[in-house]
Structure 1
Amino acid sequence: MRRPHRRALLATLPLLAGAARAQTVYPDRPITLVAPFSAGGAADLAARALAQYAPRHLPNPAASIMVENRSGASGAIGTQYVARAAPDGFTLLIARVSAAAILPAIDPRTPYAWDSFTMLGLLDENPFVVCVRADAPWRSLSDLLGALRENPGRLTFATTGPATILDLGVRHIFASAGLPIDAGVAVPFRGGGEAVAALLAGQVQFIGNNLSDTIGAISQGGLRALVVGTRRDRHAAIPQVPTAREAEFEALAEITGWNALYAPAGLPQPLIDAWAEALAALRQDQGWMAATRRVGSFPRLLPPEETRDYVRAQVALYRDLARRLGLI
């Protein structure tokens, strides 16, 4: 029997490799999930919960997701990195309200548009909370506002950049209370976790932040929460803290943090479908639900089209808010 010529065998190798690739199940290698803020903040916590629980619901349940923190520029650095990545399903983004909605809404220099991505789904919402150190003299939001009114430009607060919820939320409070939007001095940090650490260390005097970033320090007694941005019931994780309505400051409830899952624009439909099914399955995943609630977030899983509508409305909200504050 005549043996095939070596050159003919080599010629068949690409075909065999292509056939093997066609039989692989997504994802067949680790996925990089970019959190656009530093470790310990809301984006990082959401990313690590998703990385732990989502793979079991993908077509390849043995998949792995690696979280990569790319912080800076109010979340724009990590967000832009994913916008420029190949749409192959192996580079994804935890989209945060600041970088995904606020920046595109108010800063024309933002290097991407709010809809420059494939939106795979909303994950959760997280209320806004105003905190001081446990040994601070202010025991209520009205106490803090009184101190700001008496000492304009003297008290400092932690922020993660000029177009983030930590900054815009606090300035919204100032304006709603009839104070100038520079009533307090902003001190920038790379992420919500770092901002909380700065408050605990006494580097700043108060903070407006996502509950997920602050709940650990509140529970451990390091921080005193003055108000949480919910309108009706008190938050189950911090039942001692008055709501925006109880504090007679319902404007605070307009501000809320959220996380969504994005991919680069042009992601193939089969991969969109795979992620839509995986995120839908998280509704029944008690591990993910508990991990999300544990950091003070409310699970809110929306499919791709509803996520787009949600983000569009958020962009409009923050553009209008920035106009009212005189920021644009």
Structure 2
Amino acid sequence: MSDAYLLVLVRVARRLSLGVCAVSALSIRSLSDLTPTEFENLTLDLVVRLGLKNAVWRTPGRDGGRDIQGDSFVSDFSGFVSRSSWYVECKRYADTVSWPNVWEKISYADSNSADVLLVVTTSTLSPQAIDEVNRWNNAHKNPSVRFWNRQDVEARLGLHLDIKVKYGLSHTPIQDAALSMIELSKVLLKYSNSITACVEFSGVLERRLDVVQTLSELISARLAEIEQYGRISVIPFRPNYDAPDWLKQVEAVQGKGFDRYAFRCIAALIHCHSSSSEVIIADASANKLTLQAGPVVEELLPDLKTIAFWGGLNIASDSNSIIIESQYAAN
């Protein structure tokens, strides 16, 4: 076990021992305290965790909000798998969501060939909206309409402590953070343990050390933020200070809302599994960029997604690159 991993364990234990005292100084948030963008990000994390596949942001709507689209796959007893396209609309409202608001989103979802519209709100639908939605669904019109009110969202969040911790919604954030980061710690332990084998079998030691170092930094930074603020922060990547020598065209990251710690860790992991000496940043847009370093190892994606979650990033891939999207870049 590496010194870096032991250091992380010590910090976790220390924060747990101080948790009861520290939590009293934290400001515990509710769903209403989230900004519209934070609520959209939380909704994306939640629907992906619950099984929505190929989830992507749609173009911002007239209200400036981002909408989510993805696919749901259901297998029946015969083994046939059916696919439905879902359109998710996020409404951070204090008042109820009216039927005209829902109807507007039904029209937009239908124009985008969605099979199901899911309205997710911090309040609830108005009585008229609920009646109209029931009439719509009973008439078997397309798209079908589903909705989560505040209680529905909170109930689902109760099963996913890491999402609550990420957005500052946990009443015991320090204790919950230790449980929430188990998967991230497993990734660190895997690469820590691989260092010995790397030395014995003449592997690429330096690249594995980069992974261990950046993972340790990520975990330590997130634990410190949760201890101080009750939620994670996003610390912008600084190309002139945070980029290793093997990461090229780093100026493309400037101002795109990419978290310093998670982005460095993702780049190090890709470099570790690449036969190339460099990782190149390409095809950058407002809140996306592509990392290229040769063929993508599919087995790497679960670890990349685990890391990305703790940096407000989304991960996708094709055969030769990893596509990274920042949840916190400007809409």
TM interval, shorter chain, is under 0.3
Bigger Rg, which one: 1
TM-score by length of 2: 0.24
TM-score by length of 1: 0.24
Larger RCO (CA under 8 A, 6+ residues apart): 1
